[in-house]
Amino acid sequence: MGAEALRGLVVTTWETNGRPSWDFPRTADEVERADDALTRRGLNPAHALRARRLAGDRAAVEVWTRGCRFPWLGSQPRAMSSPKTKKALGPKGSRPHDSFLRVWILGARDPRRSRTTSLSKV
């Protein structure tokens, strides 16, 4: 995992800064900063996330950040800042299946509610 991947760049930034105690909102902000840095370098390793982010979908950034399981977040309670994020996470902040995360970030319909949506169609 290097500075060419979005998660790798966030981890590298965290390590470079002396492994500070970042909470969830700070980590999500760093994800956006790292994606901006990759944009300036002409790289787009997380193109689905960038598309949702540029459309102003902060909930997509939050879901993606949770899915990365950054080591400094550990067992920290999940910060849920928007109703859309709460709905995506399910009851009491349970982690949705990765397939649901992928479909949701890409903007497709919820596969649990529609039999016509599948990952093969995304």
Going from N- to C-terminal start, the domains of the chain cover 6-121
H or E, element range at 65: helix 58-68
More confident residue, 50 or 1: 50
Whether the CB-CB separation of 68 and 81 falls below 8 Å is answered with no
Average pLDDT over residues 68-73: 91
Average pLDDT over residues 1-23: 89
pLDDT band at 27; cut points 50, 70, 90? very high
pTM of the model as a whole: 0.61
